[in-house]
Structure 1
Amino acid sequence: MTFLIRILLFFSCLILYTKSGATHIVGGELNYRSIGSNLYEVKLTVYRDCINGQAQFDNPASIGIFDANNMLVSSVTAYITNQQNVPNVINTPCLIPPTNICYEVATYEFTTPITPSTGGYQIVYQRCCRNNTIINVANVASTGATYNAGIPDPTLAAENSNPVFRNWPPTFICVDAPFVFDHSAFDYDGDSLVYEICLPLSGADRSTPQPQPPNNPPYAPIQYLAPYSVNNVFGGTPLTIDQRTGIIKAIPNALGQFVYGVCVKEFRNGVFISATRRDFQVNVVPCPTITVASIFSPTVSCGNLTASFTNNSYNAASYTWDFGDLTTGSDTSSVRNPAWAYPDTGRYVATLIAHSSMDPSCDDTTTGEVFILPAFFADFSILNTRCSPEFIFSDGSFGIGGISNYWKWNMGDGSIFNSMNVSHTYVQPGIYEVSLISSNDPYCPDTLTKSVSVLPVPESEFTTELDTCAQEVKVRDFSRNASVSHWNFRDNWLFDVRETELIHAYNAEGVYQIMHVSVSDSGCVDSSSFAVDIPPLPDAAFRHAVRDCDSLVEFFNLSSNAVMYEWDFGDGNVSTQFSPSHTYSVAGNIPVSLTVTSPHSCTDFILKDVFFISYKEAGFDLSIDSCSGQITFHSVTDNAVTYEWDFGDGRTSELRYPVHTFNKDGTYEISLKVNGKSACADSASRLTVYESPLGETLFIPNSFTPNGDGINDIFKISVYRPCETYNLQVFNRWGKIVYETADAASAFWDGSAEDGQIQSGVYVYLLKGSAGEKKGTITVIR
């Protein structure tokens, strides 16, 4: 009862949609065929709903040809060459095809010239609109259709014809029943074909339902209405397609009208050429009580003579199988999913009768191809130079039926290839699982997976920083994927270095090609090099010349690799000349230095003692100390190298300023000889009368009366012929200092202290000098 209600509701909806003004487009595809001389036969196939449709087929239809820049290059007006109904068929006599489903198909065929052009062309037809009753397309009322086909760039294919589908698609399928359909195609050029479920394209709209010419590319796909998608077109068991055979399968679980797309791509020598896109609306209808015989077809056994059959029949009570083995009459079975051992490889046709539980006249019969094929084994070899990310994969697949004619490589990094052999470069190191699916027929592919290890490749990189004056180079290692480094500085090798910064000192000038080798943990290497120029260092050197007894010294610069010179003559004078001359006021050993600077601002320094003796006139003055009797000399000849004194008493000195004391009074001849051991000697002398000194005399009062009467009010020490300075301290009876002065000869004491006037009494004084000290008492009388 519930199923009957679903049927009534479905057909009521179709009638209701008819009255509500649905339109007419239900599908189409576009094909072309090259017939030589840049001529193409073009065939446009369009399907319309002849019940719900409001508009007839376009006659003529406007077809546009667009170049690779999406610019219109040609517009063709095409007329219908054939028009007929698409039969509503199903493989059972127990179902009357729905009378409320009516599709017409029209074909437009014409020939047009198309000149080869870079990037190829698109042939395009557009029409609006689709049926409003479609339930899996968003905004269906304003969604039109675009049917197009691409002519490839002539460098890919000088001539080409795109694939052509073999069969018309079914107009309806049964809800909750297995749907299996051969959606395969053929190709005039024999190119390899690959199938997929794809998105139909939208195009045109209600405002311009019949664009003349079509709108320029690109074209957007239709938008499926959730929960439907390209991976879930009908609901239920999703619609799938065998990419090799084009067999589509599904078990829809919802009633209604659905749009789906099937694309067949063509490859030539592993390179994509073009494709054909079929856009079609199918009706999912209830099929009550029918018995449908269905075999999963083709049934394929690879490398085994026994075929196992899958029975997809619907509403059957029992089954009768005939396996098509002509070598025996007993190749039958009543098992739902039987198996049969065939005598040899080859193609067979199995027959299945699905028996109805209600009426034997509703039994359904179907046939299915059976392929018993020899085993096929995928295999491939790998060629790789160690530490290189580039790999060469060569097909080695084999089988009794011959070598491979189909390949699908998965490189493990997202890259897919369809050629026989593959050269592939990995971007990142790591372990990749590489798989090859190969076959020599559409039914027995084999898969082999191998692991490849892409080793991390080091990248050598370093910078240099040159210290010219130290003849040192600092290198900084910025290498990647390296664990150790080797350095060749051309005068020395350093191995297994882990530091990222090194300083290397060179011993000589020159151009050195520094080579750096980075080594990874896996032993992979990379190298880089850089040339450094070590310039020569400056070398300071000079000699000098001077005439006898002259003060003019000539300097001769013997330095090399220098551009600046700084002389220090050792007497406070300097020069920047290359080879200067200098007149000295001094003589003897004089430290002369030369600092030189190179073009790279490097310096060198040399210090030498320059010795010479110049003529100096001997002369001197003297004075006698009245206290000590010591004779000191002054105004002695300047800048002589040597001084020789003879004091006339048998004693001598070589000091410039000697101090001398005679032992007894008398007249002495004191002489001075300068530079005496050279040709520049000179002498001077003078007679000196010497008398022993009388010495100093001290007078120390023993009392004073500080009472302010002007008589004997102060205490003062008198010194006659003073020879030194005395320190005076005065103590009271308790040892406290009441007066102190550092110069007793010039100071006086008035009897005062820090805390006022002292009292009358006896006080002790202490007089200190360099020769000793003297103590005594002072009586203060007030």
Structure 2
Amino acid sequence: MNRKLILTIFYLSFCILNCFASHIIGADLSLVRTGKSNPNYKAVLHMYIDEHKQGITENNPLEIVLLYRKRDNKLMMQIDLQQETPKHLSFKNKTCADFFDIHLFAKKMSKEIFLDPNLYDDDGGYYLIFDRCCRSPLITNIDNVGLASTALLLEFPSLKKYPNYSSPEFTVPNGEYLCKGKPFQMTMDVTDAEGDEIKYKIVEPLSGYTGNGNSFFVNFTPQTTYYPVKWAAGYGLNNQLPGNPSLSIDSKGTISLTPTETGFFNFAILVEEFKNGIKVGSNIRDYALPVLNCPNTTAPSKPIITYQGNPINQTIEICAGQTIKLETSDDPTWVFQWKNNLDNILDAALNNISVKDSGTYRVVKSFKSTCAEESESEPVKVKIIDLNSKVKIIADRLEACEGEKILLKLENVSQTADWYLGSGFIKKDKSLIADKSGDYSAKVVSTNPTCPTVKDNILLKIYPKPTISIPNVLGYQICIGDNLDLKTIESPNYTYQWLKNTVPISGATDSKLNVYEFGNYTVKVKNTTGNCEVESEEFKVTLKTSCGSISFGSTDNIYLPNTFSPNNDGKNDDWQVYNLDKYPDAEIFVYNRWGDPIFYSKGNTIKWDGKYKNELVPVGIYIYILDLKTVGFSPIEGKLTVLY
């Protein structure tokens, strides 16, 4: 006979004698990666049990979870979960919990399994189902609750498409009760190994197919639908736990309400998991909370957390591996419950606690023999200083030029350091903007003197920029055929590059440039030590207006008019040079007042219509240069007036 079937029959036989009871207060299911290749997953079931109906020492051999393919509800695997050590839920006010006789414990069942991605590759996904009877008769808002089963549904995607998938996992809750008319909050958050987007929603608990004439322990018949529980009169989705404000859950998994009715109320929380906006999985926590008529008794004074006799101001730092004792004032009439990150710490009911883990600690104080409202301390944050952790400075560069800045930050973004330049303190921060040369250091100093200071150093060099000459603001003027030297400061530690009208001049790499053309010149100077470069202001080279002209012999009769009016009136519309028949290679240049060439012509027929780039030039005086390109004749320079 199949071994699994034998075990299942044994379990069912065992449970006929031991397991049939109305005991379930709540449950949740998760499927988490193990970090191993085989088995690669662990199925985990938490059941929350009413101890009046099942003792914490009573042992169930296993609970059964079934794995189906969604597309056709094909059974893929039966998972027999084994019980781990159960634990009582810890109440912050144990006196009142005992007074109202509320005793609950958490039973964890788990099994490591292998899910082959090549087998679990269906794009429609898969689901786990846990279907178990019966719920605790304490529950107020479900009809015929003693025979109502609990169903948990966990959906997950194709493991071939999402090979690293791990479902959200609920943390075991605190033991809690609510007081009618008093605001209440409780964390129902999950952890997610992949850091996916998590969304919470209040939903109706699901009812399974166990009980009511079927097996109380497992239902092997595939079901296409799992329906909500049948509510008792007056209850439903929007009134599962009556309150004003009503039951709600925020984006971090914290439920809140102010209850308006006493009872033991069942509700459910759906957790949906999204990757890049696409839903990939979900699971449910089914849970019940008691609402009581709490005594209207004055709470004890607010406890104050101390360390070595001194109150702690919000944060205390300890070295990794160190254990410290947090305390609060004691009194034989008080009882305590310590908490870390809002979770009650098991068996932490004295006025002191030994702490070696980081977190936010609080202590709740209540009367030992009287059920009354409790009081809670201010939070104290315990921060661990890891002796093995290093401080490392990250720089966006190690060298810069004068006027530039270097960003320094810490590799560990959670650290805050004291920043120094040499021995001079600068500031306390996570980063620093540096603009000076020197040895910078970042020191992480603990408030706990027993923890060593850890630090890192980095050497930065800020190089000065080259010194350059300032051009004459009046500019530089030359006559046609002349030249001049433009100069900047000479240094063997500099390299040079001259430019004309922003274009580099080939071979112009000295501190001096000989120019014979009009234009706007600049020089880029770079130092060889820091590679810092600066560019000069413009050296403006223009035509000199006082250049002398050369006259021709009287027999040449060359005539250059000094005025014309290109207004298209039929009179003097063109400027023309006459009597150039002997000079077929003659060239003429016309310049504006800034030395820019605006007209050029070659040959012995020279005529200008007064346009530059197809537009008439403005009224004004222009310079012309006529070069006859003949031995013995220098270029002729003159002025030309344009009128309209």
TM-score range, shorter chain: 0.3 to 0.5
**Under a length normalisation based on structure 2, what TM-score does the superposition of the two structures give?**
0.41
**TM-score, length basis structure 1:** 0.35
Between the two structures, name the one with larger relative contact order (CA 8 Å, sep ≥ 6).
Answer: 2
Decide which structure has the larger Cα Rg and report it.
1
